[in-house]
Amino acid sequence: MIKKVEVVDHPLVTDGLAHLRDKKTETVKFRYYSDKVCQLLFAEAIRGLMFRRETIETPCGEMEVQKLADRIVVVPVLRSGIAMLAGATWLLPKVEVGFVGMERDEVTAVAREYYWKMPKIDTETVVMVTDPMLATGGSLLHLLRRVKESTPKLIKAVCVVAAPEGIEAVHKEFPNVEIITAAVDERLNEKKYIVPGIGDYGDRYFGTE
C-alpha cells in the first residue's frame, strides 16, 4: 500500500473493469459488472475491522467462530455513489446507509451539497464513503469534512477508479483515510474527467444522458 491506497488486484475486478471501461458496454451489462466489482471492493474494504468471538453449534458439534463486530455506515454520494450501494448491501446486508446529495458545477468543478440524511455516527462507527469516480476529490473532501465532525472510529473511501490528483487532494487533508479502488488512472483532462476513465458513471449505470 502506498499513501493509504489499496488497488484491489483480483481477476474478477480486472475483468469487470475492462467491461466498465468499454464504451460499447450497454446499461444492463454495465450494472452487472459494476455490482460485481463493487462487491469485491467492499470485501477488501472490511479488512482490518473488528470481529467478536461466539460459540455456535454446527450439525456435528460445538465450535468457536468469529463474526464481524464493527457497526458500518455506508455513505454514497448522490447520484453516482448509489451505483455502488447494491454491491455494498449485498455483501454487508446489516449496514446502515446515509445519503449526501452533491452536484458538481461543470464549469468550476466545485461540488455543492443539496441533501444530507445520515444515521447516527459516533466513535464506534466505521464509515465507508462511496464515490465511483474520484476525480478532483471535491465531493469526497466535502463529505469527509462533514462526517469527521461526528468523530467516527474509522473512515474509508471506496472508489471504482481514482485519479492521482484526487488521491493527492484527499490525503493532503485526510492522510489517514484509506482509499480502496479498482484502478488509479493516468490523470484528469481539461474538463476534470478521469483519463482513460469510464465516462459518466451515473449515466452509464442508470441509463441516463
Please state, in angstroms and as integers, the Cα–Cα distance from residue 172 to each residue in 22, 149, 151, 190, following that order: 32, 18, 19, 22
- Based on the residue annotation, tell me whether 130 is a catalytic residue of this protein: no
From 108, 122, 151, 187, the catalytic residue: 108
Measured distance CA(14)–CA(8) in Å, rounded: 9
- Based on the residue annotation, tell me whether 122 is a catalytic residue of this protein: no
Q: Counting beta carbons within 10 angstroms of the beta carbon of residue 151, is it exposed (0 to 12), middle (13 to 18) or buried (19 or more)? A: exposed
- Based on the residue annotation, tell me whether 200 is a catalytic residue of this protein: yes
Cis omega (within 30 of 0) on the bond before 79? yes
Count of positions (residues) in the chain = 209
Integer-rounded Cα radius of gyration of the chain? 17
Q: Cell 441533501 belongs to which residue?
A: 115
From 21, 70, 89, 203, the catalytic residue: 203
Measured distance CA(48)–CA(60) in Å, rounded: 30
From 31, 79, 104, 146, the catalytic residue: 104
- Based on the residue annotation, tell me whether 35 is a catalytic residue of this protein: no
Active site residues: 104, 108, 200, 203
